[in-house]
A and B are shown apart, each in its own frame.
Chain A
Amino acid sequence: MKKLILYAVVGGIAFVIGYFVNDQFFSDRAPVQPINFSHKIHAGDNQIPCQYCHIYAERSRVSGVPNVKRCMGCHQIIKTDSPEIQKVASYWDKKEPIPWVKVYNLPDHVYFPHKRHVRAGVDCKNCHGDVASMARIEKVSSLQMGWCLSCHTKREVKNGRDCWTCHK
């Protein structure tokens, strides 16, 4: 009996440590992107507004990953000698989209319109964190239902707690 309790306790501790290690070091909060793109340089140092590149955020369900043309619009002139920019240019020459890795991924059964949230005056920072200081984009919010509802409750969204407002 004593042995069983010992096993249970050791197992429990191992589980907690394992969960913590996995959560902190092995989960893909900040996946490596095909191009070493820095939001810090663009949104932080150069003060480019979010919606200059993510143009659909205000008028569509998705915020939109900017196309290569939008990158090249500036980078045909700016910093063309940098190796990372040359990578972008190679995608441009090949006429291929850049295979960005998605960081904020919602499950398919959730209806999330960016436009509703942007137009309601929710700042991008509320969900995406302080992007302007991130060298590589990192997931800062859990995107779980409780996290959604905490904000819906706080802001007293009309019908914000009805299942069919978000689930489809």
Chain B
Amino acid sequence: MPGFLERIAGKLKSYREPGYYTKLDHKWTMVIDLDKCNGCEACVVACYAENNLPVVGKEQCEKSRAFSWLRIERYVEGEYPDVKVKFIPVMCQHCMKAPCETGCPVYATYHNQDGLNVQVYNRCVGTFTCATYCTYDVRRFNWFTYKWPKPLEAQLNPDVSVREMGVMEKCTFCIQRIRSAKDTAKDEARPVKDGDIKPACSQSCPTGAIYFGDMQDPESVVAKLAKSPRRYRLLEELNADPSVIYLKRVMGDGTSSHE
């Protein structure tokens, strides 16, 4: 193999090694307090509106092609009248050792310097590999080029591109809001403050269960909450190192529950 090809191959290989980025600019982290979550799905609606997600309809949902980047998982325990219902909001976990990144043949998904799991729509060829590898089932595939009925196209968010058929997509931690917060911070010649960025789900949550911030800043709300004894992460034993931290729900009898 000629030298330059070897160099390219080596570089591409290094992208796939865990811990490729030894020093991150930020490490965006989400903390979800399940004790506050009451499963109202306001975050799901906000996500649909913010990120131009199509409503695919009943038929497509039956084929498990529902398009929500963020879903509320429901767990029902017990028989009526003694029923306990528990909820977990699940979105892309932005794993630091993401399984999806190892599979993509065209490098459409990679980890960037902000600790985010990036999906590049223009690169994606729709091989479905990442969705197969994903542990949390959060990647969504555009089976069709979805159209919005006539007046509704006016409510599309201009900061987010409208995806077409054959493209995989997922939660971006509202990258457009991160970008605009960085822009404002740069104009005012200061680093991004804690609380500058609020993703759509966090903004719309009526009980304020979703926190967002930079884990590298020890003074940030998320860094303090992450030290809580109630802390856990989804499927931690798989060692994907997810960036979304959940705080366990405290039940009436003083025990804590994962859901």
Contacts and interface: CB of A to CB of B under 8 A. Distances in A.
A168 B176 CA distance: 7
A116 B182 CA distance: 11
B116 A164 contact: yes
B161 interface: yes
Interface in A151-167: 159, 162-165, 167
Given A159-B25, A168-B160, A168-B161, A111 B179 contact: yes
A119 B123 CA distance: 30
Contacts of A119: 187
Contacts of A163: 110, 112, 118, 120, 123
A10 to B, nearest CB: 34
A108 interface: yes
A105 to B, nearest CB: 15
B113 A168 contact: no
Interface string B162-191: 100000000010011001000100110000
Given A167-B120, A168-B176, A162 B113 contact: yes
A113 B121 contact: no
Contact of A164 (B123, B175, B187): B175
A113 B113 contact: no
B159 interface: yes
Nearest to B107: A163
A162 B182 CA distance: 15
B155 interface: no
A164 B161 CA distance: 12
A94 interface: no
A3 interface: no
Interface in B120-136: 120-123
A108 B161 contact: yes
A167 B161 CA distance: 9
Contacts of B110: 163
B112 A168 contact: no
A113 B183 contact: yes
A109 interface: yes
A167 B112 contact: no
A115 to B, nearest CB: 8
A163 B122 CA distance: 10
A164 B94 CA distance: 15
A156 to B, nearest CB: 15
Interface string A97-117: 000000000001101010110
B187 A162 contact: no
Given A109-B122, A111-B179, A119-B187, A164 B112 contact: yes
Given A164-B112, A164-B118, A116 B183 contact: yes
Contacts of B179: 111, 164-165, 168
Contacts of B121: 109, 167
A168 B50 CA distance: 13
Contacts of B25: 159
B47 to A, nearest CB: 16
Contacts of A108: 161-162
A115 B180 CA distance: 12
B175 A168 contact: yes
Contact of B112 (A109, A115, A116, A162): A162
A111 B113 CA distance: 18
Interface of B: 25, 110, 112-113, 116, 118, 120-123, 159-162, 172, 175-176, 179, 183, 186-187
